[in-house]
Amino acid sequence: MKPRVTIVDDALPPRQFRALARAIVALGRERRRDSYQTTFWFDLGQPPSNLVEVAVLHLAPHVRARGVIGVEWWLSRMRTSNVKVDFHRDRDNAHFAATGVELIPKVSSLLYLNRCRGGLLAVTPEPPNPRNPAFAPDVHDFDLVEPAPNRFTFFDAKLTHGVLDARNQLPGQRLPTERAWRLAVAINFWHRRPDQVPTFAQSRHYRSLALAQ
């Protein structure tokens, strides 16, 4: 059976990857609790304004999806002992909240910055089930991706995905606290700009990621 996910190791040139990883680690606690609500739009026809967008331009040729005009990106920072992201399918959340219509990107992807205990990405065509812990699908038919530095993985955004805990089990009760964080950049490739998502220049967040003027 054809894999549902594509994995690209050594995705960025080493020097570029090290600079990006150092800059994100250096953000420390800035908006760490709100990482998943702090998203940015990058039009692929515009010049990059920060280190993440420079990386996106290098990664984009791996993603051959028709009609893509830009990406929505955000930082994924979690401890695998306390996974707070349920199984889900990516969508335009603001548009769904306003209209009830679910619009999804073309491709979902992640660029991993480090290794961690557990924390496998689990991808499946099965729908999430809100009645299960972590909204896990009833059928556990997963393709799994292990986080590793400079590993880029992407898949059809119609697929359900979630993160396994420090023991690589479905998240449930909180585990003994892991000291290390699971760090990644989430990048959704879109055919349209999601509603209410600012560009990096329109935001005041993560200014230390900005390119030198």
Mean pLDDT across the chain, nearest whole number?
96
Residue 152's pLDDT is 98
Each residue's pLDDT tens digit, 129-161: 999 999 999 999 999 999 999 999 999 999 999
Helix (H) or strand (E) holding 18: helix 14-26
Inter-residue contact 200 to 49 (CB < 8 Å) = yes
| pTM of the full structure | 0.96
Number of Cβ within 10 Å of residue 10's Cβ equals 12
Distance spanning both ends of the chain, measured CA to CA: 48
Domain count for the chain:
1
Each residue's pLDDT tens digit, 109-132: 999 999 999 999 999 999 999 999
Q: Could you tell me the CA-to-CA distances from 91 to 81, 122, 151, 158, 192 in Å, in that order?
A: 26, 18, 23, 9, 12
What's the whole-number mean pLDDT along residues 77-86?
A: 94
Q: What percent of the chain has pLDDT over 90?
A: 92
Q: Residue 35 is part of a domain; what is its CATH number?
A: 2.60.120.10
pLDDT > 90? residue 174: no
Residue 176's pLDDT is 84
Each residue's pLDDT tens digit, 44-77: 999 999 999 999 999 999 998 999 999 999 999 9
Q: Whole domain around residue 187: which residue ranges?
A: 5-209
Q: Could you tell me the CA-to-CA distances from 103 to 94, 158, 182, 186 in Å, in that order?
A: 10, 10, 28, 18
pLDDT > 80? residue 213: no
Each residue's pLDDT tens digit, 16-33: 999 999 999 999 999 999
